[in-house]
Structure formats: structure tokens, C-alpha cells
Structure 1
Amino acid sequence: MTTPEPPSPAAQPQSQDRVYRSPAGIAGGVMLLALGGWLGIDALVTGEARVRWLTVAGLLLAVPLVIAFTVRPAVYANDDRLRIRNPFRTITLPWAAVSGLRSGYSNEVFDQDGTKYQLWAIPVSLRDRKKAARRQARAAAGDPHGHTSPVSAGPVRAAGDQTMDDLRELAEARASAEGAQGGPEVRWAYEIVGPAVVGLVLLVVLLALG
């Protein structure tokens, strides 16, 4: 009787991804798609031939762009790598390739060569930062009887800033792991770019022909 060989490291299942997306962006995108679909179907059904062609061109251009900037953006993080799905590109960064994450007016990650990638799915909310600062100030002051609020046990952070803190901790903890080595990989989202370019060219030709 033979003894089964242990699975190779490549066959080992990866840790489950933590997924970060913008619910507000997705909701806005769904509403825009629904509105565009309603107007587009109406124009295709009731419009003249030229109107129908313009509608097709407009939908080919607009629908991919709406999806790209609202529904598509996402950030996936596990023990081995960070995968960023931006409007027109997907960037995969093993943790060893990440040199830092920065929060300013946008959330960004840098690779070892200094190339910057924006995290579209984790937007910066100045309003949330102000609310977090006010909560922190109240917590630090304590209540009128001299008792400190329970939230003063740790800093109060806006949701986006807390997510970036979590990603920084994961990057620092996993940078030297065997499965987190390698360089960045960038793939263009041709499924978004292709239809949008076709729609733009068709729209320009129709408008040029009058």
C-alpha cells in the first residue's frame, strides 16, 4: 500500500479574501444603469433610425463607464497579496511588493519601485474624518462627572482610515511570508475599455455624418 503524498504548496488553498467595496458607489451605479436602461429602451422603441443608432452608441459608451467607476471597483486582501480592481485596471501586489499605503485626499498604495496605485473602492470621506475627530475629542474630555468615555480606550477612526490601518498591519505582518513574494502584476480591463471605445468611435462617426 502506498502512502499518499502531501499536497504541494501550490495546491494549498489560499486564505479567504477580505473584500472592500463602496456601498454608496454601487447604489449610485445601479440607479444610473436603471435610468439609462429605461431611457435607452424608450429611445430604441419609439425613436427614428438615426436616434436608435445614437442611442446604441451612447449606451455602448456610457454603460461600461458607469460600471467601471461605480460597480467594478473593489479591493481584495488575503495573507499573500493585495488585489486592486480599479475602473480600467486590475493590480495584483504581493505583500512583499508593497512599500507603503497612504491616506490623504485619496487612499493609495505604493510598490517597491515607487509606482502609485489609487484604491478606488476605499474612498476618503472628509465628513467621516470630522465626525471621528469630534467623537475622539468628546471621548478624551470625558463626561461632566469626570468619567472617561469607553471609546477613549483607543483612537476613533473614520471607516476608510480604519480600513487602511488594517491593510498596513497586514502588509507589515505578511511582507516576509513565503507566499507573499513576487512583483506587481497589472491587467487592463479590456471588457470595459473595448465596448467604451467602440461606442465612442460609433458616436463620433454618427455625429460627423450629421
Structure 2
Amino acid sequence: MKQVYRSKAAYVMAWVWLVFVALNVVDLIVRFSGKSSLVALAVLAALTALVYAVALRPATVLTEEGLVGRNPFRTTFLPWASIEDVSVSHSINVRHGDDQVLRLWTPMSSARERAKAQRRGTPAKQRGRFATEPVLSKGEQAAAEAFAGKTHADWVGDQIRDRAESAKRRDEQAGPARVTWSYDSIAVLAVALVLVIVAIVA
């Protein structure tokens, strides 16, 4: 089963930005005023290319065959059995091959999110003599225990580690990593660059 993890906040903000850009592009085309409109279009294109590469494209994808790390300009595929270790700090770091490390762009854990996770893992203090706590179902209790003290990045790191260990127990082949360039990000940047050049030359 394919699972895709990314920064929800960055993803939502990127789509908000794209809607904003679309409205502005329509307005600039309708009220086209020469060079100033071209400059505005070039600025919007450059910022949109950056937003696409940094916020929309990055994703961590778990497939049956292995881990796919989509970073802004490269995509790395790692067979599960080739993964040697997974550590989580600000980002998820996957060690593979000859001490090579794949740093996943998403999900990341900020200091604020980690502090919140630590508070969530600490038992709540009882207040008052007759204080009562809401009764959680078994499913809710299991979820609370699984996420206690963990950020989203920690949880995804655990999923990667579990799949890698399962693959090794099944004696799967530890194939080499496959790295490819992100042609979509390069194409978006190329279009933005062309618009910037047109705005400068016109």
C-alpha cells in the first residue's frame, strides 16, 4: 500500500499561494500595461517556482518496493532492505549504502512541535478532590500511547524503520539507491527564468 507524507501546513499554504497567483495573473492579463505587467508576472513566476519546489513537491512516499524521498530537485528510491538506520532530529535521516544519508524534506519537526509532543507524553496533573478525566476508548488510548512524546516526523521514521526491518527478516535483496533529477521542478524554474529574461529585455 502506498502512503504519502508531507508537511500539511506547507502544502495548504502553497495551494493558497497558487490561487492568489492565478487571480493576479488574470488581473494582469486583463489590465496589461506593458513592462510593469511583465515584471509583475516575472516576480510571481519566480516565487511560484520556489513555492512549488520547496512546498508542493517534497514528499516522503512509502511503497511496497521501497522508500521514495522526493526533495526539491531530486527523487531518491531506496529498497527497504538497503536501509541501515533511521534517525530523527529536525529532519528524518535515512542511512543506507556506504554510510550515505538521505535527508527527507518532509515531514520535519520544529522545536515547538517537539516541545508540544513532550508535553503530550507527560501525564496530566489531577486538580481538585473530585476532578475527573474523560474516559477514552481502547482505540483512542492506543493512539495516545503511540503518539506520546512523538512528533509526526518521529512516527514516520518509525514506519520506515519497521518496513526496513521487515524486509531484512524476509531476506529481501538490498539493491542500490536510484537517484533521478526532478524534471518538473527544473521545468518550472526554466519557465520562471524565461519570464524574468523577457521582463528584463522587453
TM category (shorter chain) comes to 0.7 to 0.9
With over 3 angstroms needed to count, the CA separation of the structure-2 counterparts of 1:162 and 1:153, relative to structure 1, is closer
RMSD: 3.1
Which of 1 and 2 has higher RCO (CA within 8 Å, sep 6+)?
2
Contact 2:74 2:182 in 1 (8 A): yes
> 2:132 aligns to what?
none
How do 1:75-90 residues align onto structure 2 when only pairs under 5 Å count?
A: 75-90=60-75
Amino acid paired to 2:163: L
> 1:203 aligns to what?
196
Q: Does 1:36 align with 2:21?
A: yes
Sequence identity, in percent?
Answer: 28
Moved more, 187-196 or 177-186: 177-186
Contact 2:60 2:104 in 1 (8 A): yes
With over 3 angstroms needed to count, the CA separation of the structure-2 counterparts of 1:177 and 1:53, relative to structure 1, is farther
Unaligned runs of at least 5 residues, structure 2: 130-134, 136-140
With over 3 angstroms needed to count, the CA separation of the structure-2 counterparts of 1:195 and 1:159, relative to structure 1, is closer
TM-score by length of 1: 0.75
Amino acid paired to 1:99: E
Contact 1:107 1:118 in 2 (8 A): yes
With over 3 angstroms needed to count, the CA separation of the structure-2 counterparts of 1:189 and 1:133, relative to structure 1, is same
How many residues align? The count is 192
Q: Deviations over 1:72-91 (max 9, x none)?
A: 22211134310111222111
The one of 113, 116, 120 aligned to 1:131: 116
Contact 2:58 2:70 in 1 (8 A): yes
CA distance, structure 1, for counterparts of residue 24 and residue 41 of structure 2: 11
Amino acid paired to 2:112: R
The one of 156, 161, 164 aligned to 2:154: 161
CA distance, structure 2, for counterparts of residue 41 and residue 178 of structure 1: 56
Q: Which of the pair has more CA radius of gyration? A: 1
Unaligned runs of at least 5 residues, structure 1: 1-15
